[in-house]
Amino acid sequence: MDDPIRIEIMKHLFVSVAEEMGVRLQRAAYSPNIKERCDFSCAVFDAYGQLVAQAAHIPVHLGAMPLSVQACLHKLEFTPGDVAMVNDPYQGGTHLPDITMVSPIYIQHNGQETLVGFVANRAHHADVGGMSAGSMPLSEELYQEGVIIPPIKLVCDGVINQDVWDLFLANVRTPIEREGDLQAQLAANRIGIERMEGFVHRYGFEQVCQDMDALIHYGERMTRQLIAELPDGHYCFDDQLDDDGITFEPVKIMASVTIAGDEVTVDFTGTDQQRQGSINAVYPITLSAVVYVFRCLLGLDIPANSGCMEPIHIVAPEGTIVNARFPAAVAGGNVETSQRIVDVVLGAMVQACPDRIPAASQGTMNNIAIGGWDEGRQQPFAYYETIGGGMGARSTGTGASAIHSHMTNTLNTPVEALEYVYPFRVTRYEVRKQSGGQGTFHGGDGLRREYEFLQTAHVTILSDRRTKGPYGVAGGLSGQPGRNQLQSGGNTQELPSKCRLVVQAGDILTIETPGGGGYGEDVHEKPTIHS
380: number of CA atoms within 13 Å, CB side? 16
Looking at the chain, the number of H-run helices and the number of E-run strands are 10, 20
Contacts of 55 (CB under 8 A, 6+ apart): 15, 18, 19, 21, 22, 41, 42, 43
419 binds other proteins (CB under 8 A): yes
What is d(CA 99, CA 178) in angstroms, rounded to the nearest whole number? Answer: 11
- Per residue, the 3-state secondary structure of 324-335, as one string, reads CCCCCCCCCHHH
Q: What are phi and psi of 38, to 5 degrees?
A: 55, 35
Buried b (16+ CB within 10 A) or exposed e, 7-44: beebbebbbebbbbbbebbbebbbbbbbbbbbbbbbbb
Nearer to other proteins, 427 or 493 (CB): 427
296 binds other proteins (CB under 8 A): yes
36 binds other proteins (CB under 8 A): yes
- Candidates 234, 252, 425, 500; binder of other proteins (CB under 8 A) is 425
Neighbours of 414 (CB within 10 A): 12
CB of 317 to other proteins, least distance (A): 28
Q: Which one, of 216, 76, 144, 152, lies nearest residue 165 by Cα?
A: 152
DSSP letter at 481 equals P
5 binds other proteins (CB under 8 A): yes
# binding residues, other proteins (CB under 8 A): 91
- Candidates 40, 106, 199, 218; binder of other proteins (CB under 8 A) is 218
Q: Which one, of 469, 468, 475, 473, lies nearest residue 523 by Cα?
A: 475
Nearer to other proteins, 7 or 164 (CB): 7
Nearer to other proteins, 31 or 278 (CB): 31
- Candidates 169, 450, 468, 510; binder of other proteins (CB under 8 A) is 450
Q: Which stretch binds other proteins (CB under 8 A): 72-80, 86-94, 235-243, 297-305?
A: 297-305
Nearer to other proteins, 170 or 176 (CB): 176
| Contact positions with other proteins (CB under 8 A) in 372-411 | 387-388, 391, 394, 396-405, 409-411
What is d(CA 518, CA 436) in angstroms, rounded to the nearest whole number? Answer: 7
Q: Which stretch binds other proteins (CB under 8 A): 56-64, 114-122, 132-140, 487-495?
A: 56-64
Kind and range of the H or E run holding 397: none
Contact string 220-239 vs other proteins (x = CB under 8 A): -xx--xx-------------
Nearer to other proteins, 278 or 408 (CB): 408
430 binds other proteins (CB under 8 A): yes
Nearer to other proteins, 38 or 328 (CB): 38
357 binds other proteins (CB under 8 A): yes
What distances in angstroms separate CA 461 from CA 143, 331, 401, 430, one per listed residue? 19, 12, 22, 19
Contact between 407 and 288 (Cβ < 8 Å): yes
| Contact positions with other proteins (CB under 8 A) in 163-192 | 176-177, 180, 183-184, 186-187, 190-191
Contact string 264-293 vs other proteins (x = CB under 8 A): ----------------------------x-
415 binds other proteins (CB under 8 A): yes
Nearer to other proteins, 195 or 498 (CB): 195
CB of 193 to other proteins, least distance (A): 11
- Candidates 48, 165, 203, 429; binder of other proteins (CB under 8 A) is 429
- Candidates 79, 108, 247, 427; binder of other proteins (CB under 8 A) is 427
- Candidates 301, 490, 491, 494; binder of other proteins (CB under 8 A) is 301
What is d(CA 484, CA 463) in angstroms, rounded to the nearest whole number? Answer: 9
Q: What count of residues does the chain have?
A: 531
Nearer to other proteins, 315 or 426 (CB): 426
Nearer to other proteins, 101 or 346 (CB): 346
CB of 468 to other proteins, least distance (A): 21
363 binds other proteins (CB under 8 A): no
- Candidates 231, 299, 489, 490; binder of other proteins (CB under 8 A) is 299
CB of 398 to other proteins, least distance (A): 6
Contact between 207 and 196 (Cβ < 8 Å): no
- Candidates 77, 416, 494, 525; binder of other proteins (CB under 8 A) is 416
| Contact positions with other proteins (CB under 8 A) in 59-98 | 59
Contact between 384 and 368 (Cβ < 8 Å): yes
Neighbours of 270 (CB within 10 A): 14
Residue 193: beta bridge partners? none
- Candidates 233, 414, 475, 506; binder of other proteins (CB under 8 A) is 414
User: What does 203-255 look like in DSSP terms, one character per residue?
Assistant: H-HHHHHHHHHHHHHHHHHHHHHHHHTSPPEEEEEEEEES--SSS---EEEEE
What distances in angstroms separate CA 47 from CA 86, 103, 451, one per listed residue? 18, 11, 48
